[in-house]
Amino acid sequence: MENVAELQARRERGKALRQMVPRSTHGAIGHVDRDPIALLEQSSAGRVPRLVPLRYGRMVASPFAFYRGSAIIQAHDLAGTRRSGLIHQICGDCHLSNFGGFATPERSLLFDVNDFDETSPGPWEWDLKRLCASFVVAGRHLRHDAVENERMVREVVTSYRDRMAEYAEMSILETWYDRITFDRLLETAEDADLQKRVRRAMERAAQRTHETLLPKLGVCEGRDGRWRLLDAPPAIFHVRGEQTLFEPDDDWLAYDDPAAIVNRCFGDYTATLAQDRQQLLSHFRLHDTAFKVVGVGSVGTRCLILLMIDSHGKPLFLQAKEATKSVVARYFKSPAVAHEGRRVVEGQRLMQAASDVFLGWSKGPSGRHFYIRQLRDMKFSADLELMDVNVLAAYARTCGWVLARAHAKAGGMAAEASGYLGTSDRMADALVAYSIAYADQVERDYEVFVAACRSGRLEARTDADMAADFRV
């Protein structure tokens, strides 16, 4: 157990930071005198050109969809805010839809942060601010009133504050071993309805396996039992197939032997895995690869699914996703990164309670960086549209808990953070003000974005519109 005097000294160091950066200063939203469209265009550079309109088409659906897809804008704005001075690995895109359930290597079901494309060293409060603002933006989309939206922010911040105080009392090993399992969520559920929802989530996650995914995405052809992924553009297509969305002059189409390129990249990837996982992967044979469009903000970045089959005919789906420079690193100075895929993997391993056994990285054609993970392994995401106010409040508390655990593990500064936060509602008051003001800004930016799509400055297309291009 940590020396009591040392623990108190660390808390006092965190508390002393309030003298330089009072908690009330976190109500400011930063420098918002910028062109949001120019920032979005900057973040779209290097993506598959024909998929950029789909990115904008998904973002135009609502202010919350826009918020999900515009992490670069908030990172820019946060750079103009005061910083507490505690710096460590952060998620970088910590909105409420980037939390979910997944299976550990031991087959337990965890609830944790699940998206690390933007992870980088940064101010811990940037994650908390993005999370809190997301509850207000989403709450308005769900037609919750101002009182209910304020409640969600307070649930997040209070949970984060109280859990961080608990982690401050724990040894570093206890913090690293702590896991927020669905069984623990069942124990903390306050009523029968919440318990029912958690059990239902566990049941749904258990059904989301590679085997259940195989007949949905693939078809077995020929007597040799070889599987092929099915084209379903714009969501899934073969890069060199008739339904490709790649331009003829794309550098990925310039290689005479694409199979050799895939094999080389796959070999580089396996070298980043532990020896036992290399051995495990050696029992699978690659059957097919295809391009997959994912998410909202990631649409247009290079992403492949790899269908692998073992000697028993059982599948393993891997996803190779392009990693580009973190939006956090664009606006907060940090050490140079040699490989963006490795940045994602190491940030994920540092922040999550447990990570995918197949998590690794590789360099693809034209020097692009990728990270690789399982496509689907008992993964579960909450459906906000189906949550009433009380369920959403419980979800907010859980997200605050999860983020506190991730920060305590990644930073090793739980005592300092707890000292800075204190026991009062000062930080919650500031982040309520921040979240409401920033949600207003998001709505203004969204109107500018919609106008740009209508005027033709940006092209936006829906999934249905693009799919119609491929119908006979």
Contact criterion met (CB below 8 Å) for 49 and 114 = no
Measured CA distances, 423 to 159, 166, 335, 428, 463 (Å)? 11, 12, 34, 10, 47
User: Does residue 381 sit within a domain?
Assistant: no
Return phi, psi of residue 286, to 5°.
Answer: -70, 125
394 and 369 in one domain?
no
221 and 354 in one domain?
yes
Q: What is the pLDDT of residue 1?
A: 47
Ramachandran class of 245: left when φ > 0, alpha when ψ lies in -120 to 50, beta otherwise: alpha
Q: Which two tokens stand for residue 363?
A: 């360099």
186 and 271 in one domain?
no
73 and 220 in one domain?
no
236 and 182 in one domain?
no
- Tell me the angle at which helices 340-351 and 389-411 cross, rounded to the nearest 10 degrees: 110
231 and 150 in one domain?
no
HEC states along 172-191? HHHHHHCCCEHHHHHHHCCC
Strand partners, 305: 290, 319
Q: What is the pLDDT of residue 204?
A: 87
215 and 196 in one domain?
no
Q: What is the pTM of this model?
A: 0.96
Return phi, psi of residue 453, to 5°.
Answer: -70, -40
> Which residues, including other chains, have CB under 8 Å from residue 162's CB and lie 6 or more apart?
none
352 and 398 in one domain?
no
User: Does residue 384 sit within a domain?
Assistant: no
Buried-exposed string 183-202: b where 16+ CB fall within 10 A, e elsewhere: ebbeeebeeeebeebbeebb
Three-state secondary structure call for residue 280: helix
User: Does residue 383 sit within a domain?
Assistant: no
Using CB atoms within 10 Å of the CB of residue 349, give its burial: 0 to 12 exposed, 13 to 18 middle, 19+ buried.
middle
Q: What is the pLDDT of residue 260?
A: 84
194 and 153 in one domain?
yes
Q: What total of structural domains would you count in the chain? A: 2
Contact criterion met (CB below 8 Å) for 132 and 435 = yes
Quick: pLDDT tens for 230-284: 999 999 999 998 899 999 888 888 877 778 888 899 999 999 999 999 999 999 9
329 and 196 in one domain?
no
244 and 193 in one domain?
no
Please tell me the distance from the alpha carbon of residue 88 to that of residue 355, in angstroms, as a whole number: 19
Q: What is the pLDDT of residue 43?
A: 96
Three-state secondary structure call for residue 110: strand
Please tell me the distance from the alpha carbon of residue 119 to that of residue 361, in angstroms, as a whole number: 15
Please tell me the distance from the alpha carbon of residue 346 to that of residue 466, in angstroms, as a whole number: 36
Q: Which residues of the chain carry a pLDDT beneath 70? A: 1-2, 472
Q: What is the pLDDT of residue 274?
A: 96
Q: Which two tokens stand for residue 209?
A: 């396996």
Return phi, psi of residue 33, to 5°.
Answer: -85, 80
Buried-exposed string 405-416: b where 16+ CB fall within 10 A, e elsewhere: bbbbbbbebbbb
Range of the domain at 337: 210-374
Please tell me the distance from the alpha carbon of residue 135 to that of residue 159, in angstroms, as a whole number: 14
- Residue at which a domain ends, from 317, 349, 374: 374
- Residue at which a domain ends, from 374, 400, 427: 374
Please tell me the distance from the alpha carbon of residue 369 to that of residue 388, in angstroms, as a whole number: 41
352 and 292 in one domain?
yes
Please tell me the distance from the alpha carbon of residue 130 to that of residue 110, in angstroms, as a whole number: 22
Q: What is the pLDDT of residue 472?
A: 54
User: Does residue 351 sit within a domain?
Assistant: yes
User: Does residue 88 sit within a domain?
Assistant: yes
